[in-house]
Every structure is written in structure tokens, then in C-alpha cells.
Amino acid sequence: MKIFTSAQIHELDRYTIEHEPIKSVDLMERAAKAITRAITEEWTTHTPVVVFAGPGNNGGDALAVARLLINEGYKVSTFLFNITNHLSDDCVTNRQRLLEGKHAKDFTEITAKFDPPELTADTLVIDGLFGSGLNKPLAGGFASLVKYINQSPAKVVSIDVPSGLMAEDNTYNVRANIIHATLTLTLHEKKLSFLFSDAQQFIGRVKVLDIRLSQEYIQKTEAQYYVLEESDIRSRLLHRDDFAHKGDMGNALVIAGSYGMSGAAILTTRACLRSGVGKVTVHTPKKNYDIMQVSVPEAILQMDHEETAFTEAVDTDDFDALAIGPGLGRQEPTAIAMIAQIRRAQCPIIADADALNILASHRAWMQQLPKGIIMTPHAKELDRLTGSPANADFERLHRTRELARSLQAYIILKGHNSALCLPNGNVIFNSTGNSGMATAGSGDVLTGIITALLARGYHQQNACMAGMYLHGLAGDLAAKDLGKESLVAGDIINYLPKAFMLLDD
């Protein structure tokens, strides 16, 4: 599914108006009806409603909703902010429609001084001050109103976007001046900022309302951002031939583990085996031999000549994919062996965990990475790779995109909505997963899954897309049965078979 920018959404509205054809005020009425329906499904007519409408089209939506709620029997107080004595055309039309209504008595147009109404715990506030077109932080009286609403005990429904929140980049926004919505009723699709963790405190629950915008425009318009859907993965899965043997199913090499960190090697290897690969060889220090042999008897062991750490690059001629990094350690001999291994490898590579930490402390080495390498950093690892902490999630994503573009790499920025940044600058967000997966070893499992898919013959992009979707789906299935609090990384591996089966139906 495409995620359009605010500029593209504006163009989508315009295209719909011109090509449906439909008047802009009638499209606004269509949106208002969908918003009103969603509100009436959750709050009864006994709920007092206060509507705050801004001067633009978001305010026009709010005025239309106020009129429709009044017609449904709700007691509504409406405040229209016309500080500059300039309203959008559709806002003017909906003001007139509201005032012409039989039961519209409690309407105030603010042009100067504003005496705010009392907002109690029983009050429902409809926030229609500013929508997705906002491009600068709120200030002055609007900032004061936002703070007043946020400090009240009232429930808040925001139309399209909580006022003060920008649809994409909130890096330099003033967060104290953003509405904290209980429920955001967003039109057509989630906005990009909704996918970031630092926006969750503002958006509350989100419902996406379909207002039947032009499918022609949606299909023909390119996007930079996408959200994975199940159909995207089903169409990319490679199916096992009935006459396949293990040699047909790929041969993976996992270089992982140091003394005391064999668990990372075990989890990566088990996940790799559970993801359909024919054979897995694990290169690990000698002291990990016994525990690896017992924990993953299906794997082939290849021992480093050192007792406690990875110190020697090995041939990859017989392998179809290489994973390197989980639990590897960061000692200098290991670092030198790691970069030598990456330079030597002739197969697709996924670098994770300590491989990324080593690159962060030897940043000049990143210029030696082969095109097409897959990297899977979490937020702090990405900050280390780029040299400084990001100020916000959008800025971190922007840095990841630039890094993927400059290295011609596939970089998965891990998080609740993990973001796959492609070499061409596009971003694909994952839609599966849950907070129970925020547990040690979860990233090692993802590495193992992607490694197996690479070895099976998946292209890097498809391996990343299917890998992060399956990883999240297995986590969702595990959380459904076990709960989020008790989830551990091994549970994700155990539910991988069910995840594959669901997608293979």
C-alpha cells in the first residue's frame, strides 16, 4: 500500500474533484459523513460535544461534522477561529450551512479574544483546527488552545491529523503544542508520521476512513513510502518443489557467537533452519562447540581456530548466503576478520549486531561494503553508523535512506514499523509485529530468517520484505497464544511454521 506525502494527498483530492467529477464541498461532505459515522459508533447523544474549527478545510470538515452531529441529536457547541478574517471557500460554505440549520444555536466565531469553554471528563472535543497541510509549529493563541485542551480531562477526536502534528517531518516541531488525541479519524490512509514511535503519544487510536478518492490517481502515482500487505508477501514466496532435495534449498553460512554469547548464534541458526533452508553451517569459536552441537543438532559446525572469538575469514564458495554479526564481539582481531570476511564473500551478505557496531567504530570500512549488502540496525546502531544521535524518528529514517542510497545497500531500520530502505531511496514499512518482540534475541531471529531466504534464492529486496513480515507475523501468533509480557525470541522461532502455513494457504 502506498503512503503519500501531504502534497500528494492534496493533489489526490484535487484529481478526484476534477475527474470524478465532484465539487470540493461535496467531497468534504462525504468525508464529514464518514467522520460523523465513526463518532456516533463510539459516543451516544448523551455526550456533550465541543467542536474547535480552524480557518482552512480541516475547519470546514469540523463545521460539517458539527452540523451532522446536531442533526443526529447531539448537543454541540461550535467555535470557529477566524483570527485573520480569511476562511477557505469550503469553510465559508459549511459555516453558512451550519448557521442555517434549525438546531444550530451554540455557535461562536472568534476573531479576537477567546474565552474557552469548560471541558470536563464527559466532554468530547472534536479537533478540526489544522490538518495535514500544516507546515510549521503552532504558536500564539492556537498553541495556548492546544495546551488548554491537552490539560483538560476531555476525550479528543482529531480530524485527519491531530492539530499541530505534521504529516511527515516533526523533527523540529514544538511537541508541547500538538494535540493529544484519544482517537484520530484519518482520511484515506495513515500519514507517514503515524508510523513513527515519537508520534504515538499524539495520535491515540487511529481509524482510517475510506472517502473513495480516485483509484486512477492512486494506481498511476509513484510513491516513496509503502506499507507491506499480506498480498505483497504471498506473491513473492517461493514454493518448495515436491522433488526438491536439500541441495536445492540453499546452503547458508552463519558467522556468529563469541564465548558467552553463543545464544545469538543458536537463535540465528535455529531461525534460519526453520525458514526453509537446506543446510546451515555455523562458524563459531571452539568453546561454543558443545552447546551448539546440543542446541542445534541439524547445523554443521565449523570452528574458528581461536577458543573464544571469531578471528579468521573463511571461504564462501560453497555457500549461497552469509550472515555475520550476532554475538560476534567487538575485539580488534574480530573486527579485522569481519571486514576481511565481507570483502572475501562471493554470496549475498546480511550484516547485523556486532558487525554493525564494528563498522560504526571503523566507519571508513563502510566504503568497502559490497553493493546489495543487507544491514539490520536498530535505532541506536543506526545512530552509531551515521555518527550522531538523531533528533527524531523522521530524521533517523532520512539518514537511513541516505545511507542505503550511498552504499547501494538494503537497510532494515528495526522498530515497531520496521522500515526497509532500498538503494533507490524508497522505503517499505512492515505491518506485522508487536511490543512483545522487544526482547533480547529477536533481531538474531530476523537475521536467521532473511539468511535462509537469501540462500533459497530470493532477491535481497524480497528476502527483506518476506523476512520482516514473517518475523512479525510469527511474533503476533506467539503473542496471541502466550501474551506479550512472556514472549521470548525462541517463541518467534517456534511460531515460524504457523506463519509460513498461513501465507501458503
Q: Which positions make up the binding site? A: 57-61, 127, 131-137, 160, 163, 264, 327, 378, 414-418, 443-444
The b-or-e profile of 379-395 (16+ CB within 10 A means b, else e) is bebbbbbbeeebebbbb
The torsion angles phi and psi of 331, rounded to 5 degrees, stand at -65, 155
Q: Which positions make up the binding site for AMP? A: 414-418, 443
Q: Which positions make up the binding site for (6S)-NADPHX? A: 57-61, 131-137, 160, 264, 327, 378, 444
- Give the span between the Cα atoms of 190 and 202, in whole angstroms: 14
Asked whether the beta carbons of 20 and 214 are under 8 A apart, the reply is yes
Q: Which positions make up the binding site for K(+)? A: 58, 127, 163
Residue 207 CA: distances (Å) to CA of 186, 196, 259, 283: 6, 16, 48, 48
What is residue 74's three-state secondary structure?
coil
Torsion (CA) 214, 466, 393, 38 in degrees, nearest 10: 40
Asked whether the beta carbons of 288 and 265 are under 8 A apart, the reply is yes
Q: Which is it for the CA torsion 477, 482, 486, 490, positive or negative?
A: negative
Strands 419-421 and 427-429, by their bridges, are: antiparallel
- Sequential DSSP letters for 270-297: HHHHHTT-SEEEEEE-GGGHHHHHHH-T
Query: What region, left, alpha or beta, does residue 479 occupy, with left being phi > 0 and alpha being psi -120 to 50 degrees?
Result: alpha
Residue 184 per-residue DSSP state: E
Torsion (CA) 142, 145, 147, 151 in degrees, nearest 10: -170
- Sequential DSSP letters for 303-364: E-SSSSS-------TT-SEEEE-TT----HHHHHHHHHHHHH--S-EEE-THHHHHHHHSGG
Amino acid at 436: G
- Give the span between the Cα atoms of 255 and 240, in whole angstroms: 26
Burial label, 19 (beta-carbon count in 10 A; 0-12, 13-18, 19+) = exposed
Q: Which is it for the CA torsion 304, 310, 314, 319, positive or negative?
A: positive
- Give the span between the Cα atoms of 424 and 409, in whole angstroms: 9
- Residue 467 has, within 13 A of its CA and on its CB side, a CA count of 37
